[in-house]
């Protein structure tokens, strides 16, 4: 199927981020091997998704320059879930955005204007599951992208469920499975500092209990309320809460003021290099601060900003 979008769309940043942060076992990058093959002309991302009727596997292909749609392949255990799987693909790639809105607003800042002019159409890499993003955000606190992937992959290997549908992919572990871990299992599987391990176990219990409202804005969710609920949990700070609302709830106005990459980029651009003054400055970018984060990350040399090299 073809998923239309409003151009421009900076595919290298969008797919590069998803590929660089992909959790082994749940997501995999399919490198380009020539137009029309299984990997797609510029490569593709394949991942497992949890759906009401069972598992699903989606493949989203990197669009060619000038394209106005993304080619997607959807397989589901229950055919009734196909429309939802397609909608989750759109959220994964932020395809419902009109890029002129954030680009025009952010270009009003003379510091960001050259970044927007150089790379219009940046999108927020999304996720089909807020629960998954919340767990991965805690795993990623104060560690590198590679370390966060390693922690997540260990959980998937131990607690993931086969997605089937002709692949060896697995579904990211459900919160209920994490919540059921006893103390010894938690220590063995969660190679984390004690405080972060307990933060994750408590988060899993709360997620399993259903008291967190992590609905996407298109489903009636309220990112501000979700942030407040997350911040009320022990060990959850602004970086984690904002990551969840930005990546999974459709929050256009999340800002990761304390993110190391954001701070490094800010200093290099002559913006405040400390979290609090940068956060104050960023208020002028509202309600598009999630996209300002993408431009700041894009100012740095990092794997998230480019498609993986072809073999």
> What pLDDT sits at residue 189?
84
pLDDT at residue 309, as a whole number: 84
pLDDT at 219: 95
* CA–centroid distance for 30 within its chain: 18
Q: What is the pLDDT of residues 18-35, one digit of tens each?
A: 999 999 999 999 998 754
Asked if 251 and 215 count as a contact pair (C-beta separation under 8 A), the reply is no
DSSP-derived secondary structure letter, 52? T
Tokens of 199: 């933060």
Unique residue bearing structure tokens 């229950």: 78
Burial of 281 (0-12, 13-18, 19+ CB in 10 A): middle
| Start-to-end C-alpha separation, the chain | 27
* CA dihedral for 144, 148, 149, 151, sign (positive or negative): positive
Q: Are 209 and 174 in contact (CB under 8 A)?
A: no
Give pairs for 104-110: CB < 8 Å, separation 24+: 105/285, 105/288, 106/285, 106/288, 106/291, 106/292, 106/295, 109/284, 109/285
Token pair for residue 116?
């927007």
What is the model's pTM? 0.93
CA distance 5 to 97: 8
Residues in the chain where the model's pLDDT stays below 50: 35-39
Contact between residue 291 and residue 252 where contact means Cβ atoms under 8 Å apart = yes
Q: For residue 98, with 0-12 CB atoms within 10 Å meaning exposed, 13-18 middle and 19 or more buried, which class applies?
A: exposed
pLDDT at 229: 97
The candidate with the shortest Cα–Cα distance to 283, out of 255, 246, 241, is 255
The predicted-structure confidence for 214-262, as pLDDT tens digits, reads as follows: 999 999 999 999 999 999 999 999 999 999 999 999 999 999 999 999 9
The two tokens of residue 145 are 């992208």
Give the HSE-up count for residue 280: Cα atoms under 13 Å, Cβ half-sphere. Answer: 5
Specify the pLDDT at position 36. Answer: 45
């Amino acid at each position: 199927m073809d998923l239309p979008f409003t151009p421009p769309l900076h595919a290298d940043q969008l797919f590069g981020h998803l590929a660089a942060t992909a959790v082994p076992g749940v997501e995999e990058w399919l490198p380009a091997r020539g137009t029309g093959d299984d990997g797609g002309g510029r490569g593709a991302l394949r991942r497992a998704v949890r759906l009401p009727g069972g598992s699903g596997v989606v493949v989203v292909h990197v669009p060619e320059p000038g394209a106005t749609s993304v080619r997607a392949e959807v397989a589901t255990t229950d055919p009734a879930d196909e429309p939802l799987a397609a909608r989750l693909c759109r959220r994964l790639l932020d395809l419902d955005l009109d890029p002129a809105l954030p680009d025009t607003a952010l270009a009003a800042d003379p510091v960001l204007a050259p970044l927007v002019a150089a790379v219009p159409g940046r999108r927020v890499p999304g996720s089909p599951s807020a629960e998954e993003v919340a767990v991965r955000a805690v795993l990623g606190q104060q560690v590198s992208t590679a370390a966060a992937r390693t922690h997540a992959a260990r959980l998937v290997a131990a607690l993931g469920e086969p997605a089937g549908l002709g692949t060896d992919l697995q579904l990211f572990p459900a919160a209920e499975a994490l919540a059921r871990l006893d103390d010894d299992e938690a220590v063995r599987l969660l190679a984390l500092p004690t405080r972060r391990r307990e933060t994750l176990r408590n988060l899993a219990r709360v997620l399993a209990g259903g008291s967190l409202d992590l609905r996407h804005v298109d489903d009636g969710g309220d990112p501000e309320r979700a942030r407040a609920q997350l911040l009320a949990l022990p060990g959850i700070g602004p970086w984690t809460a904002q990551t969840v609302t930005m990546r999974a709830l459709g929050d256009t106005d999340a800002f990761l003021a304390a993110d190391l990459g954001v701070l490094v980029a800010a200093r290099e651009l002559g913006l405040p290099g400390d979290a609090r003054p940068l956060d104050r400055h960023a208020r002028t970018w509202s309600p598009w601060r999630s996209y300002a984060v993408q431009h700041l990350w894009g100012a740095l040399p990092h794997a998230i900003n480019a498609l993986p090299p072809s073999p």
